[in-house]
Amino acid sequence: MERVTTVPGSTYFYYPRLVCIVGVLDEEKESCNFAPVAWATPLSSAPPLYGVCLSPRTYTHKLVLKAGEFTINFMAHGDADTVAAMGKLSGRTTDKVKALGLELDPPDALRTPTLARAYASAECLLVARHQLGDQTLFAGEVHSIRHRPDAFDEAGVLRPERVAPLLYLGAGRYLSGDPASVVTPTREG
């Protein structure tokens, strides 16, 4: 197989990525801001920690520092247009909840609401932050998780035949996994 060498930043080689919508209180506007991020990941099971990377230039970064908490929300592929609009609008100048008609669920454990259309959401208390290059990694301890009852099987695994998760491919493009492509490899020997 032929391969070429390119410089870092010239390809989205580490994509696709599951889209995570970060929600945070905007107390000055008496609303919430929601921003899609692709650089997000679980960090620990005990305690349950989830990390999101945000640029210090973003409004969401400022709000997370001020609020000390955030939510993570996972949307289905059918919500790609809404998610893309969240990313194009700035919370500095636009109340995204009003502009996009976002329906919110009240919080269970902390103060920040979650997105009602999300197939899964979690409330996270900010416990650490680390500056890494041009991003800040915010680590949140998960205090509450809410999900659609049909979204996960009895083992806690996403049911792709019921929920098509939204993946970011890069350069403003989204995709979803084909449920027929799910495999459980077996190892012989």
Q: Coil, strand or helix: which one is 5? A: coil
For residue 189, name the pLDDT band (cuts at 50, 70, 90): low
Residue whose C-alpha is closest to residue 123's, from 56, 55, 62, 49: 49
Q: Are strands 31-37 and 20-26 parallel, antiparallel or unpaired?
A: antiparallel
pTM above 0.85, yes or no: yes
Amino acid 41: pLDDT: 97
Percent of the chain predicted with pLDDT > 90: 83
- Residues 118-165 have pLDDT tens digits of 999 999 999 999 999 999 999 999 999 999 999 999 999 999 999 999
For residue 180, name the pLDDT band (cuts at 50, 70, 90): confident
Q: Which residues pair with 17 in a beta bridge?
A: 168
- Residues 32-55 have pLDDT tens digits of 999 999 999 999 999 999 999 999
- Would you say 149 and 159 are in contact if contact means Cβ atoms under 8 Å apart? no
67, containing H or E segment = helix 59-67
Query: Where do runs of H (alpha helix) occur along 93-151?
Result: 96-100
Amino acid 100: pLDDT: 97
Confidence check: pLDDT of 187 > 80: no
Across the range 92-105, mean pLDDT stands at: 97
